[in-house]
Amino acid sequence: MTGSPVGRFEGRRRLRARGRVRPDWPDAGDRFRRLFDHSPDPAWIIAGNRFIDCNAAAVAMLGYGDKRGLLETHPGDLSPAFQPDGEDSRTKAERMIATARRNGQHRFEWVHTRADGSCFDAEVTLSSLSLDGREVIYCAWRDITTRKRDEERLQLARTVFDNSSEGIVVTDADALILSVNPAFTEITGYSADEAVGRKPSILRSDHHEPGFYADLWRTLLETGHWQGEVWNRRKDGSVYVQWQTITAVRDATGRVASYVSVFTDITNMRRNEDRIRHLAYHDALTGLPNRTLLMDRLEHGIAVARREAHRLAVLFLDLDRFKAVNDSLGHDAGDRLLREVAARIVASLRRTDTVARMGGDEFVVLLEPAGPADDIARTAEAVIAALDQPVDLGVESVRVTTSVGIAVFPETAEDAVSLLKQADTAMYAAKKGGRNTYRFFAAGMTEKTLATLRLERDLRAAIQRGEFELHYQPKICFEDRRPCGAEALVRWRRDGNDTLMYPADFIPLAEETGLVVALGDWVIEEACRQIAAWRAAGLGDIPLAVNVSARQLFSRDFAVRVIEATRRHGITPAMLQIEITESAVMADPDAASAILSELRALGATVAIDDFGTGYSSLAYLTRLPVDVIKIDRSFVIGLAEGVENAEIVASIVALGRALGKIVVAEGVENDEEVRLLTAAECPIGQGYLFARPMPAAELTPWLAGRKDCRTCADYDVRGCGGMRP
Ligand code: C2E
Ligand code: MG
Ligand code: MG
């Protein structure tokens, strides 16, 4: 058959012309003809390699209007050029027909083309038969597009099933396993052979509450669906968590035909989650709860305490000398110390109490419930005692103490943030109160503490910003009212303000924080500079006394630093007098004596300040390596008031003279005091009567106006009575 329309037309005309005489295939009777024509299944008659007839179903299947255009066509004309196996359609069609002829019947799949060019899959059955002695082929088609599509879908499902990383189990309605995928085997350790025919309960662990599986089944039956976490046991006995979805699959009648369960092993995810959660809520160094978790527990604790009407206590701990250990022994030692401290705190408490590390060397203890104040105090004492023991850090054994501040719900505050703040404030009070102790929060602490914190912050910056200045108060010889040196007194021009801050308002804090060492170094440097400046201005050598705090005195290489400062400014150490208060010396008399001796050996002189207030016995004086004794102002004020003070002053002076020390009276304000001091044979005084402390810019002209100013050259500080006539 030619593929051209003209050829086909010619053929059809021939066919019709002949058909009118007799049908193209021998007439098998009208009945069979009708059967053929009206059969719902597409059917063809093939003779040679051509379709010589077809029924209406075949025409419809191909999407043609009538069969005229279809007769005398070759099967290849109604097919794509090639079949899916790659063979060209014409050749293959003829091969199929030949096979049918040879075998009587042949069935195969074929792709046909519709009138509109689209394709469909057909299952073709060719039967060879003889009609009125003529060999023809009866050809029946079945459209298998749907079946094909189903097969492809099934194949896809199979691929998904086999390659899914999620475990899949299919069971029948009785929950007997029908199939499992490779991921199932990988996760559970059971092969398909081991699992099929058994129930999923082979995986059961004893990690669930008794009602768990019953609930699961109830939900599954009621809703057709269940989703959740299941703890299962692998074949090797290990337990794991899976996230599982079970779906009931129903058949057309609505009965459950099977269950499909899909699951992922989330054990690792869970472990990571747990780790992350732990990290988020715990301190990495000590493993203790961190601030976040503490706040959680505190809030929760408050809620419980409120409901059950009991107390709750917050203890804020801060180690007293941690920074020193950390700085001198290194961070590893510091870390070890913190871990040991954490362990000791935990060990000294009940298991129900919470210990958290807030960072640095700060810890918080939550006592819940807390007993009466006495109990809380006892707990604080126990913690303090537990920490006040040497800690062996390998190379060295150190002792750190701790200061504890306590706030109590509901007495001092009713919310977490306030409680914590109050405990912190009380902790500062404990530090002020001498460390290694505890304080309960008391109203009024807050503002003071805040101010202190601000002061400390400003103080640190002040040294850098150069906000300090020295004022000088001359010392006067009573005998001739001539100046004989001056005392340097520090002032703080805070924030560049015009108002001056006096030492009483910042020296104690500077001392507490250690800032006094840097401040003191500055004072000594500045004093040396001033001595050199006066000398350069032609005023001669005016000796200056500087005040030195205990912490400064005991700081490393203090004596050496002082002497180096004098060298830097080209003055002799004898120009500098170190004033140290009696109470500072008494803090550690032996150590103080050693340093003071060293200073004197290097050429500086030493004065003991505020003498009479430090509770040292007069006898102690004999052993102190000092040149000058400054009688505290309180005795000078009292001079005029009573015999007793006069006697004290007289005996200090007498003793001083006997020991070869110069005695100076502080705070001389009036002539009566001068008269009494002179009567007691005190040679030198310092006070508002003669001059107030003043800046160098004022003191310089003041000194210059007194041509009779005594200078170092004029007096022998170490000589008896101090002064040359
Ligand atoms: P201080 O060493 O006993 O100094 C004498 C204090 O008495 C000074 O107070 C001075 O202004 C005051 N004063 C002097 N004459 C009179 C008087 O006639 N009447 C009265 N009422 N007061 C008088 P200031 O300057 O406030 O210093 C107070 C204390 O601060 C000093 O006592 C000293 O212990 C300490 N200080 C001052 N400067 C320094 C310093 O640079 N370093 C250290 N560590 N402490 C210092
Ligand atoms: Mg002084
Ligand atoms: Mg004094």
pLDDT 10s digits, 519-554: 999 999 999 999 999 999 888 888 999 999 999 999
**Fold adopted by 164-271:** Beta-Lactamase (3.30.450)
Cis omega before residue 369 (within 30°)? Answer: yes
pLDDT digits (tens, 9 = 90+) for 267-321: 888 888 888 888 889 998 999 999 999 999 999 999 999 999 899 999 999 998 8
Sequence-distant (≥ 6) Cβ neighbours of residue 30 within 8 angstroms: none
What residues does ligand 1 touch, defined as CB less than 6 Å away?
473, 489-490, 502-504, 507, 516, 520, 523, 547-549, 579, 609-610, 633, 666-669, 686-688, 693
| Surface-to-core class of residue 75, CB atoms within 10 Å of its CB (0-12 exposed, 13-18 middle, 19+ buried) | buried
Which helix (H) or strand (E) segment holds residue 453: the answer is helix 445-465
Q: Of 463, 475, 489, which is best to mutate to test ligand 1, by the most ligand atoms within 8 angstroms of its C-beta?
A: 489
Total length of the chain = 725
Q: Which CATH number fits domain 463-704: 3.20.20.450, 3.40.1550.20, 3.40.50.720, 3.40.50.2300?
A: 3.20.20.450
> What residues have a C-beta under 5 A from ligand 3, the ion?
609-610, 666
Domain 283-445 has CATH 3.20.20.70: no
Residues 6+ apart with CB under 8 A from 449: 425, 428, 429
Burial of 211 from C-beta contacts in 10 A (0-12 / 13-18 / 19+)? exposed
- Ligand 1 probe mutation, 487, 506, 547, most atoms within 8 A of CB: 547
Structure tokens at 559: 């004596």
411 has pLDDT over 90: no
Q: Give the residue from 360, 403, 408, 362 showing the smallest Cα distance to 383.
A: 403
Q: What is the pLDDT of residues 459-517, one digit of tens each?
A: 888 988 889 999 999 999 998 888 889 999 999 998 767 778 999 999 988 988 888 99
Q: How far is CA 598 from CA 183, 401, 592, 604, 712, in A?
A: 83, 31, 10, 9, 21
Cα-Cα end-to-end distance for the chain: 154
Which among 666, 673, 694 is the best mutation to test ligand 1's pocket, defined by most ligand atoms within 8 Å of the CB? 666
Task: Domain ranges for the chain, please list them.
Answer: 39-149, 164-271, 283-445, 463-704
CA-wise closest residue to 344 among 420, 400, 396: 400
Return d(Cα 285, Cα 273) in angstroms, integer.
20
* pLDDT tens-digit series, residues 177-234: 999 999 999 999 999 999 999 999 999 988 888 899 999 999 999 999 999 999 999 9
Dihedral (CA of 150, 155, 161, 164) sign: negative
176: number of Cβ within 10 Å: 14
**What is the rounded average pLDDT for all residues in the chain?**
87
**How far away, in angstroms, is 634 Cα from ligand 3 center?**
10
Confidence (pTM): 0.49
Task: Indicate the residue type of 515.
Answer: L
Are both 39-149 and 164-271 of the same fold? Answer: yes
Cβ neighbours of residue 411 closer than 8 Å, sequence gap 6 or more: 311
Q: Which CATH class is domain 39-149?
A: alpha beta
664: enclosing H helix or E strand: strand 662-665
Position 720 pLDDT exceeds 70: no
